C-alpha cells in the first residue's frame, strides 16, 4: 500500500520476534514494513525509509550460510538499528569482531549505560533490566563506533556511530521483559530518524478507502463473509469505499456455532446494511464429510467445498470482476518468509486458487495490518465492540473441534455444549480475560450414572487459553466453582454427554486447537 506516511523498514533475519518489532514501531505511530534480509540495498534506498531496523535471528554471523547483508546497506545514510544478530552482522560487515560468548546470555540481564550522552538511552536511568538471547557477542566494535552500554555477558551491549547514524543493541527492546524497550525504540525513531509519529488506524482507513476506489474503479466486488473479525472488518471497509458495488456471500457450512448463521445475517443486513447473499450449504458439506476422520482430509474437503459453493454463488451475481480477501499482514509475512521460525504456514483458510479459477482480480484491503490493528479498524468503522473482541474461530469451523467423524448429531451436541460454556464465560465476566475458549467433542465414550441407570455417553473437553500473540499460550486458571457450574450444566442439559474434562496443556507443547 502506498503510504504518504513516513515508513521504517524491518529486515527479517528469522527472529521469532520480528513481527513484534514492527508492531512496537506502529504502536509508536510510525508505519512499518517487514522485508526479507536479502532485499538489495538499492531497493531499500528506493523506498526512501525514514529508518531501517535489522532483526535478531537464530544464526551465528561467522557460520557458513549465515544470512548476510550488502555492506552498501550501511552507506545509504538512513539511520539503522541492529538488534542482536542485526547488530552482530553490522559489526562484522564494518570491521568489528564477533565471537562465541563464553556463556549464553539468555533471559533477564542487567544493562549498565556507560555513556550519558548516548542517543538510544537518552533520558533513561544508567542501570536497567533487559531481555537477552544470544550465544555470540561483539568483542571489538567496528571502527567509528562507541560502546555506550555493557552487561555481564556482553561487554559491547550497545554501540553507536552518530556520524553514520548507525546503532546496535545486543538485547531485545521489542519484548515486554526489557524495562525501557519502548523508550529505546522511541529514541531511535524520533531522535535518530526524525519521525513524526502520525500513523494511526483512522489515517489508515482513509488511505485504504482511496486505494480501494483507485483499484476497483466502477467494478463490482464479491467477498466471502464468514462472520469472523477479519472478513467483517474487510466488508465494512469495502462498503465505506464502494457502497452498493459490494456483494457479500455468506456460506453456512453447517459447522458454525449455535445460532451464528442467523445472527451474522441479521447483523450485516439490518444493522450494517450490506448486500448479503446467503447460501445454506450445510447438507452438501456434511454429506462430503461423511466417514472422514483424518483432520487434514476434513480441512481439504471443507476448503474445496467452500470454493465450489462460493464460485456458484458469485457466478449467479454476474458481472463481478474483483474478489476481496481478508488476508492480514502475518499471513503474508509467513508465506513469504525466507527462513526461520516463521517459515511454516498452516493450510490457510483464505480461498487459495479462487481468483485463478474465477478469473477475478484480487483485492486485499487488510494485507498491511496485524490482528490487533484489524480490531482497532473494526471499532473505527463502527463494528460492535463485543463483535470486535470475539475469540478467533477456525476456518473449517466445528469440524476441527469434533475429533473423529463429523455428523449432524455430533455437530448439534457440540453446538449446545459450546453455547453453554461461552455463555457462562460472558455471564461471569471472564470472556474478555481469555483469548480463546471452546468445547471439543472427543471420539471416546465413558460410563456414567444418571438417575438410577448407568449411561455410556460422550466426553467433551473444555479449553480456555490466555495469550498475547497466539504463538505461545497458557491454559487459563478459571475458578473451580465456575468450572463446576459449566460441567454440571453441560451434563444435565446436553443429551448424550456424561463427562466434562478441562484441558490444562500450554502451547508449546500443545497447540491451541486439537486438530
Higher pLDDT, 88 or 102: 88
Q: Residue range 176-205: average pLDDT?
A: 93
* Distance from chain centroid for Cα 364: 16
Burial per residue of 162-193, b for 16 or more beta-carbon CB atoms within 10 angstroms, e otherwise: eebbbbbbbbbbbbeebbbbebbbbbbbeebb
Number of C-beta neighbours around residue 379 at 10 A: 15
Confidence (pLDDT) at 64? 86
Task: Give the contacts of 16 (CB within 8 A, at least 6 positions apart).
Answer: 340, 341, 342, 471
Which comes out higher in pLDDT, residue 122 or 359? 122
What pLDDT band is residue 110 in, cutting at 50, 70 and 90? Answer: very high
Residues sharing a CB contact under 8 Å with residue 218, sequence separation 6 or more, in sequence order: 245
pLDDT at 339 over 50: no
| Mean pLDDT within 31-36 | 92
Q: Are strands 51-54 and 7-12 parallel, antiparallel or unpaired?
A: parallel
Q: What percent of the chain has pLDDT over 70?
A: 92
**Is pLDDT of 153 > 50?**
yes
Q: Say what the pLDDT of residue 448 is.
A: 72
Selected residue with higher pLDDT from 388 and 90: 90
pLDDT at 354 > cutoff 80: no
- Give residue 4's pLDDT: 56
Burial of 216 (0-12, 13-18, 19+ CB in 10 A): buried
Q: How far apart are CA 240 and CA 325, in angstroms?
A: 16
- Per-residue confidence (pLDDT) for residue 336, from 0 to 100: 52
Chain mean pLDDT for the chain: 89
Return the pLDDT at 456. Answer: 66
**Alpha helix locations (H) across 318-369?**
329-336, 354-358
**Bridge-partner residues for 454, per DSSP?**
449
pLDDT digits (tens, 9 = 90+) for 420-464: 999 999 999 999 999 999 999 998 877 776 666 666 689 999 999
Residue 471: DSSP 8-state = S
pLDDT at res. 435: 92
**Banded pLDDT at 90 (limits 50, 70, 90):** very high
Average pLDDT over residues 87-111: 88
Cα(387)–Cα(266) distance, rounded to whole angstroms?
14
Reference 39, options 66, 67, 60; nearest CA is: 67
Beta carbons of 209 and 240 less than 8 angstroms apart: yes
Confidence of residue 334 (pLDDT cuts 50, 70, 90): low
Show which residues are catalytic: 84, 172, 174
Which one is predicted more confidently, 255 or 372?
Answer: 255
65 grid coordinates: 550460510
Q: Give dist(CA 292, CA 407) in Å, integer.
A: 10
Q: Which H or E run contains 304? A: helix 295-317
What is the reported pLDDT for 452? 61
User: Between 201-216 and 371-380, two packed helices, what is the crossing angle to 10 degrees?
Assistant: 90
Among the listed residues 267, 275, 195, 187, the one whose alpha carbon sits nearest the alpha carbon of residue 227 = 267
Q: Flag whether pLDDT at 338 surpasses 50.
A: no
Residues 19, 330 contacting (CB under 8 angstroms): yes
Interatomic CA distance for residues 203 and 221, integer angstroms: 23
Amino acid at each position: 500500500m502506498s503510504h504518504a506516511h513516513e515508513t521504517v523498514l524491518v529486515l527479517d533475519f528469522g527472529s521469532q520476534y520480528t513481527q513484534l518489532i514492527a508492531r512496537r514501531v506502529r504502536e509508536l505511530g510510525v508505519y512499518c514494513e517487514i522485508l526479507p534480509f536479502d532485499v538489495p540495498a538499492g531497493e531499500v534506498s528506493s523506498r526512501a525509509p525514514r529508518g531501517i531496523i535489522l532483526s535478531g535471528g537464530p544464526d551465528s554471523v561467522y557460520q557458513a550460510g549465515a544470512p548476510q547483508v550488502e555492506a552498501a546497506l550501511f552507506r545509504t545514510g538512513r539511520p539503522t538499528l541492529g538488534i542482536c544478530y542485526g547488530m552482530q552482522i553490522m559489526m562484522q560487515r564494518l570491521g568489528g569482531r564477533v565471537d562465541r560468548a563464553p556463556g549464553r546470555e539468555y533471559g533477564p540481564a542487567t544493562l549498565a549505560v556507560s555513556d550519558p550522552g548516548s542517543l538510544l538511552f537518552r533520558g533513561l536511568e544508567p542501570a536497567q533490566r533487559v531481555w537477552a538471547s544470544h550465544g555470540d557477542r561483539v568483542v571489538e566494535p567496528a571502527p567509528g563506533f562507541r560502546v555506550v552500554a555493557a552487561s555481564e555477558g556482553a561487554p559491547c551491549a550497545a554501540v553507536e556511530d552518530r556520524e553514520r547514524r548507525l546503532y546496535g543493541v545486543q538485547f531485545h527492546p521489542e519484548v515486554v521483559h526489557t524495562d525501557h524497550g519502548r523508550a529505546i525504540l522511541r529514541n531511535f525513531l524520533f531522535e535518530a530518524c526524525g519521525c513524526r509519529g502520525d500513523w494511526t488506524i483512522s489515517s489508515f482507513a482513509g488511505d485504504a478507502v482511496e486505494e480501494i476506489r483507485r483499484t476497483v474503479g466502477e467494478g463490482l466486488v464479491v467477498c466471502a463473509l464468514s462472520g469472523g473479525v477479519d472478513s467483517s472488518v474487510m466488508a465494512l471497509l469495502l462498503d465505506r469505499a464502494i457502497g452498493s458495488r459490494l456483494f457479500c456471500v455468506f456460506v453456512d457450512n453447517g459447522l458454525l456455532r449455535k445460532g451464528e448463521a442467523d445472527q451474522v445475517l441479521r447483523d450485516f443486513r439490518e444493522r450494517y446494511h450490506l448486500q448479503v447473499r446467503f447460501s445454506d450449504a450445510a447438507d452438501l458439506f456434511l454429506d462430503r464429510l461423511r466417514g472422514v476422520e483424518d483432520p487434514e482430509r476434513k480441512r481439504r474437503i471443507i476448503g474445496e467445498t467452500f470454493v465450489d459453493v462460493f464460485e456458484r454463488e458469485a457466478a449467479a451475481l454476474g458481472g463481478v470482476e474483483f474478489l476481496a480477501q481478508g488476508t492480514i499482514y502475518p499471513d503474508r509475512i509467513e508465506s513469504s518468509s525466507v527462513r526461520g521460525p516463521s517459515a511454516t504456514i498452516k493450510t490457510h483458510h483464505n480461498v487459495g486458487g479462487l481468483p485463478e479459477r474465477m478469473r477475478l482480480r484480487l483485492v486485499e484491503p487488510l494485507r498491511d495490518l496485524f490482528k490487533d490493528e484489524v480490531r482497532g479498524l473494526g471499532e473505527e468503522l463502527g463494528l460492535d465492540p463485543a463483535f470486535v473482541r470475539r475469540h478467533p474461530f477456525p476456518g473449517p469451523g466445528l469440524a476441527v473441534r469434533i475429533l473423529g467423524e463429523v455428523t449432524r448429531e455430533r455437530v448439534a451436541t457440540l453446538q449446545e455444549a459450546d453455547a453453554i460454556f461461552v455463555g457462562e464465560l460472558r455471564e461471569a465476566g471472564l470472556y474478555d480475560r481469555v483469548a480463546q475458549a471452546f468445547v471439543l467433542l472427543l471420539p471416546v465414550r465413558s460410563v456414567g450414572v444418571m438417575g438410577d441407570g448407568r449411561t455410556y455417553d460422550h466426553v467433551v473437553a473444555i479449553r480456555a487459553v490466555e495469550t498475547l500473540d497466539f504463538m505461545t499460550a497458557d491454559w487459563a486458571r478459571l475458578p473451580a466453582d465456575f468450572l463446576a457450574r459449566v460441567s454440571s450444566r453441560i451434563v444435565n442439559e446436553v443429551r448424550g454427554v456424561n463427562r466434562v474434562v478441562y484441558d490444562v496443556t500450554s502451547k508449546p507443547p500443545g497447540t491451541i486447537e486439537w486438530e
